[in-house]
Amino acid sequence: MVMLSVGLSIWVLHIDLPALTQLERGLLFLSPLIAIPVFYVLGLYDAVLRYLSFKSVFTVLKSVSLFSLIWALGVWLFAHNLSGATPLLMWVFLLQLIGGSRFLRSWQFAYYGDGYGLHKDRKNVLIYGAGTAGVQLATLLSYGNKHIAHAFIDDSPNLQDRVVEGHKVYSSKHIQQLIDKYKIDEVLMAIPSASRSRRKRILSELEPFRVHVRSLPSLEEIVNCEVKIDDIREVDMMDLLGRDPVPADTSLLDAPIAGKVVMVSGAAGSIGSELCRQISLLSPRCLILFEQHEFSLYALSKELEHSGVEVISILGSVVDQTRVKRVIDRYNVDTIYHAAAYKHVPMVEHNPSMGVLNNILGTYAIAGAACHGTVQNFVLISTDKAVRPTNIMGATKRVAELVIQAMDAACEEVCFSAVRFGNVIGSSGSVIPLFREQIRNGGPVTVTHPEITRFFMTVPEAAQLVIQAGSLAVGGDIFVLDMGKPVKIDEMARHMIRLSGLTVADDSNPDGDIEIVYPGLRSGEKLFEELLIDGDVSGTRHSRIMCANESSLSLHELSSYIDRFRQIADKGDTPELVKTLAELVDGYKAKAEVVDIMDGARLA
């Protein structure tokens, strides 16, 4: 390229190349020997062609210019027959050849990958959002071999019909046209700062099109290093629900944690682990992880070991009151968050005595240990399934609430409270991961009943609510969250199928991709969950956190039931268990006969 540029510049300005002197011809043939060391020293060969940038352009410009100056000096000293414009023209030719060839190769990487043939497995995508996140996403995709971006979609009239990062920006009314033109496989949402309501509106807009919709993480997640900017993932279900998380009142987060020794039971569960993560950010003096599952405890302790907080991992069960009390006394625990529980409805329904042992007797044991130690605050993580329960799990969690209320009345030194909320997206019992897996496997998607509804919230939101309750509590409180409208699970499943670029197979569309089947309500499951038993609530300092005013028992009244539950758990007496729960829990009514799996047929 150096020789070609020199030769072209001489030919354009002088035409008669044979008339050159031997010295002038020497300059032509020696030019690469001058240029290559200059290019090497200035870093021209250090650039990775796949990732050319403005800095790479400057390096090319700097290298070619320095060589041109050196060659111009040679022309001035030794080639008097050559025009003074020759080095300038050579500079222009060489800049175009070297710069152009490099950007041509970079373009080849971006659009054709490492080989010379088009990657047939690359997905054609549209990017929804031509802002900073969208531009960064388009740049990152151009460096990979899995996606190729063809255009931007954006609501802003100021951006529409303009070109951003080499791609034209269109309005949403052109989506179908772009899908047909470019055979689009996916739409990637790159609007991480948009509100939930706006994201829901965009998803509703995209749902009719047969394309897979995925999203970019929020800016908060990227800044907190929870994910990477190029971590494209399935649509966040909270976007689909359109409900913004309940905002945390920062003044309520520190009080029960900052400078305190905090213990979390069931620390490695979905709620417990998120509680531990959030607590570690609030400067406790010490964080105690109390958990009976060994590997989960190990994994969580490794995750938190660089949090800057002293973390103590203790294996144990909440049923073991002696061990719990030793932990409280040894470390002078100030605050306990009790998240340890069996919470999977069908599993507890078929193992009822274990539900009683863990959820009732375990709560009674750890609450009793807290009464005789240094504990000042005790918060129980409860569930909306405790309201007029139709299953063993819900009934045992309601008894756990009664235990907390009774302990608060009997133990003046400790402020006991409970927090009741609905389904947690991303928890171990959530239906959403199950639906995603079923869709990925080609269906069918199982929805227990066409009319079943549930309340939803995120795991971080639930954890923050629990922490704030520790500050709001005055004793014996049961807190509930204004969670908006309940969501129909059937509609949610249909949204998920359509946003995966597939269609629902039903009577109106028998040739659809994914069928939804309705096997019927599972044992102990009910159509509608509630957050209140009596409907009597009072407000708190937080606009969307309420305190339920519900009936309670004294510790003396409750003690006789606790003794009965101990006997029931020891014997595995399921009929007596159901009878006792029905006596104690208002509104509890089993939807079907409860049968312990241990009472089933034996293996041959």
Look up 526 and say whether it is catalytic.
Answer: no
Strands (E), 523-590: 537-539, 545-548
For the chain, what is the radius of gyration of the CA atoms?
34
Q: Which of 385, 397, 571, 589 is catalytic?
A: 385
Angle at alpha carbon of residue 490, lines to 485 and 495, rounded to 5°: 90
Contact 328, 343 (CB under 8 A): no
Please count the other Cβ atoms lying within 10 Å of the Cβ belonging to residue 45.
11
d(CA 38, CA 56): 16
Residue 203: closest CA among 440, 456, 500, 441: 500
Q: Are 439 and 446 in contact (CB under 8 A)?
A: no
Q: Which two tokens stand for residue 356?
A: 């009683």
CA 316/CA 289 separation, integer angstroms:
10
Beta partners for residue 314, in sequence order: 290
Decide if 193 contacts 134 (C-beta within 8 A). Answer: no
Q: Distance between CA 523 and CA 391 in Å, rounded?
A: 7
Residue with tokens 């045992």: 396
CB atoms within 10 A of CB 552: 17
Partner residues linked to 446 by β-bridges: 517
- On whether the CB atoms of residues 465 and 383 are closer than 8 A, the answer is no
The type of residue at 529 is: E
Distance separating alpha carbons of residues 311 and 281, to the nearest angstrom: 12
Label residue 68 left, alpha or beta by phi (over 0 means left) and psi (-120 to 50 means alpha).
alpha
CA distance 492 to 438: 14
CA 359 to CA 533: how far, in whole Å? 20
Is residue 136 packed enough to be buried (19+ CB in 10 Å), middle (13-18) or exposed (0-12)? middle
Annotated catalytic sites, by residue? 385
